[in-house]
Amino acid sequence: MAKQLWKPGNMLYPLPAVMVTVADRQGNSNIITVAWTGTVCTNPAMTYISVRPERYSYDMLKETGEFVINLTTKKLAYAVDYCGVKSGRDVDKFAQCGLTRGKPSVVHVPLIQESPVNMECRVTEIKELGSHHMFLAEVVAVHADEAYMNEKGSFDLAKAEPLVYSHGGYYALGEKLGTFGYSVRKKAVPKAEGKSAKAKRPNAPEARRSRGNKRR
């Protein structure tokens, strides 16, 4: 299989396409679409977003040190793109996209009510890396839409049709191929099959008598 050698660049795709809400101390809020985001640590729960300093939302982030990561879905694809190409200096993205400001529980930044999951975050460190500055943050609260709880009481995000970003395009997630650890998990033997196998196996005395009769 032949491969081309390219200059260094980020080709880590797909990525979650999230809408990040921010606000300043005067209560003005904005939405910025971010794909440079991910999990940093499990305990304590930590995440990050990387933002260009020239973005309108950058100063709000730096001023308050708070933001909310709002997960996105197939239905929110238009809003995701719009909030990534329009500036909050010029438009109210909530109004333009028909999105609802939700009430947070810890931070002072609105949630996006239409999002299936909202993660309230508080910045712990800012790393000025180059074209983007990374905002490392601790997750201080999570809101999950009850509409995606299954019959077992577990949250089923797949029902929301999560959105991802890959090399300039937006995609809805597709077929489920397995669950964590499925490659090494032992297959369970159905109970009915096990009982059937036991029923067919002759007991030891009968087997011995049968062999003895054949010898005679």
- Beta strand segments in the chain, E: 15-16, 18-23, 29-34, 37-41, 46-51, 66-70, 101-102, 111-112, 117-128, 133-144, 163-166, 169-172
Length of the chain: 216
Q: How many angstroms separate the CA atoms of 118 and 175, rounded?
A: 24
The neighbouring-strand residues paired with 138 are 46, 122
What pLDDT is attached to residue 151? 87
Identify the CATH number of the domain in which residue 147 sits. 2.30.110.10
pTM to 2 decimals? Answer: 0.85
What pLDDT is attached to residue 198? 53
Report if residue 155 sits inside a domain: yes
What pLDDT is attached to residue 176? 86
Q: How many angstroms separate the CA atoms of 84 and 109, rounded?
A: 18
Spatial neighbors of 152 by CB under 8 A, at least 6 apart, are: none
What pLDDT is attached to residue 175? 87
Number of other residues whose CB lies within 10 A of the CB of residue 109: 24
Report if residue 212 sits inside a domain: no
What pLDDT is attached to residue 212? 52
- List C-alpha distances in Å: 139 to 86, 168, 204: 27, 28, 63
> What is the DSSP secondary structure assignment for residue 14, as one 8-state letter?
-
What pLDDT is attached to residue 161? 94
What pLDDT is attached to residue 192? 65
Report if residue 3 sits inside a domain: no
Q: How many angstroms separate the CA atoms of 94 and 31, rounded?
A: 8
What pLDDT is attached to residue 186? 86
Written as tens digits, the pLDDT of the chain (216 aa) is 899 999 999 899 999 999 999 999 999 999 999 999 999 999 999 999 999 999 999 999 999 999 999 999 999 999 999 999 999 999 999 999 999 999 999 999 999 999 999 999 999 999 999 999 999 999 999 999 999 998 888 999 999 999 999 999 999 998 888 988 989 988 877 776 555 545 555 555 555 555 555 554
Report if residue 192 sits inside a domain: no
104 token code pair: 């947070």
Query: Could you give the number of structural domains in the chain?
Result: 1
Report if residue 6 sits inside a domain: no
Report if residue 189 sits inside a domain: no
pLDDT in tens, 138-196: 999 999 999 999 888 899 999 999 999 999 999 999 888 898 898 998 887 777 655 55
| CB neighbour class for 17 (10 Å; exposed up to 12, middle 13-18, buried from 19) | buried
- The range of the structural domain enclosing residue 59 comes to 15-172
